[in-house]
């Protein structure tokens, strides 16, 4: 669902549709989908947040991450942009030591170095992807890493569905405030695509939350890398963009680094909050 959402976003951006209006549609529809799915299940409990400040910070970080990634999609192929942004789990390991005072193991530090090596293989200094635009998926990884760390700090305070609701609410409010600066009336096809992006993003997050109800985030994390396969396939079908051998090697290195960065001991821990609920 996230790969399909990103494909629709890139299709819109290739036609020079404004990023601000596109992100607004993604979060506005996300909010509607979230309320429609969760209100019957939770009622007013959906709105009760014990840590509203952290909910606000988390929502702002995800909006900033989305903005950065969509900017990358305007200039970079879908698969390569997604692959570079997937250095996020490695960045989380790096930043957690600074922000949460968590001690990283030697294996995790190797993962950090390996992750950045994978990014360098993908963008290859002197190659076609070595442009200022390559900064945006890296910025996406940093923002999303801080977002995950904030999510970790919220663990045990608010219900996972409440967190999902506030993610959509903050995104909807922030992007609505900026909408007058970037609004462009969409065509019928564009409107359908924008609605589809919101449905895919909102329901994708909902499915992640449901998954975390049945398995630990660490156990689910490796499955997220299948998104690279879908991004490659959809990028080829929609835009005839296909990574070369060097990009595939870099993707493999980034995935290996991400798996090394995981705390495999948490694989057997009971299901918890939506710490692993990722996606743009």
Per residue in 200-236, pLDDT (tens digit) is 988 888 888 778 777 766 677 778 888 999 999 999 9
Distance between CA atoms of residues 253 and 248, nearest Å: 9
122 occurs within a structural domain: yes
Q: What is the mean pLDDT of residues 178-187?
A: 93
Bigger pLDDT: 209 vs 25: 25
DSSP state of 81: H
8 Å CB contact between 171 and 59: yes
pLDDT at 175: 95
106-110, 180-184, 213-217: least confident range: 213-217
- Give residue 61's domain range: 2-268
Q: What is the mean pLDDT of residues 119-129?
A: 83
Answer whether residue 188 is part of any domain: yes
Q: Is residue 163 part of a domain?
A: yes
* More confident call, 91 vs 269: 91
Q: Is 130 within a domain?
A: yes
Structure-block tokens of residue 180: 């007058």
Q: How confident is the model at residue 260 (pLDDT cuts 50, 70, 90)?
A: confident
What band does 164 get if pLDDT is binned at 50, 70 and 90? Answer: confident
Coil, helix or strand for 75? helix
Q: What is the mean pLDDT of the chain?
A: 86
Give me the pLDDT at residue 272, please.
47
Contact 107, 101 (CB under 8 A): no
Q: What pTM was computed for the model?
A: 0.85
Distance, CA of 114 to CA of 251 (rounded, Å): 11
Task: Please check whether residue 261 lies inside any domain of the structure.
Answer: yes
User: Can you give the length of the chain in residues?
Assistant: 280
Is residue 133 assigned to a domain? yes
Give a yes or no: residue 277 inside a domain.
no
Task: Domain count for the chain, please give it.
Answer: 1
Residue 180 lies in a domain: yes
CA atoms within 13 A on the CB side of 232: 15
CB of 22 within 8 A of CB of 197?
A: yes
Which of the four pLDDT bands, split at 50, 70 and 90, describes residue 273? very low
């Amino acid at each position: 669902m996230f790969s399909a959402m990103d494909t629709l976003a890139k299709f819109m951006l290739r036609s020079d549709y404004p990023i601000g209006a596109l992100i607004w549609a993604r979060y506005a529809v996300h909010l509607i989908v979230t309320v429609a799915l969760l209100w019957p299940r939770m009622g007013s409990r959906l709105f009760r947040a014990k840590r509203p400040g952290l909910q606000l910070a988390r929502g702002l970080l995800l909006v900033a991450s989305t903005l950065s990634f969509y900017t990358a999609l305007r200039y970079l192929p879908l698969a390569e942009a997604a692959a570079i942004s997937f250095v996020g789990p490695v960045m989380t390991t790096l930043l957690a030591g600074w922000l949460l005072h968590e001690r990283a193991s030697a294996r995790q530090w190797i993962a950090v170095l390996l992750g950045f090596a994978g990014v360098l293989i993908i963008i290859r200094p002197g190659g076609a992807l070595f442009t200022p635009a390559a900064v945006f998926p890296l910025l996406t990884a940093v923002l999303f890493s801080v977002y995950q760390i904030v999510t970790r700090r919220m663990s045990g305070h608010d219900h996972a569905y409440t967190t999902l609701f506030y993610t959509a609410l903050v995104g909807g409010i922030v992007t609505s405030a900026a909408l007058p600066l970037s609004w462009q009336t969409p065509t019928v096809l564009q409107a359908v695509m924008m609605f589809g992006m919101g449905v895919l993003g909102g329901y994708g997050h909902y499915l992640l939350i449901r998954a975390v109800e049945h398995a630990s985030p660490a156990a689910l994390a490796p499955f997220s890398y299948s998104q690279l396969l879908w991004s490659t396939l959809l990028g080829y079908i929609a835009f005839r963009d296909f990574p070369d051998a060097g990009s595939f090697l870099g993707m493999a290195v980034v995935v290996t680094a991400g798996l090394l960065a995981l705390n495999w001991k948490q694989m057997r821990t009971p299901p918890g909050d939506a710490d692993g609920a990722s996606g743009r």
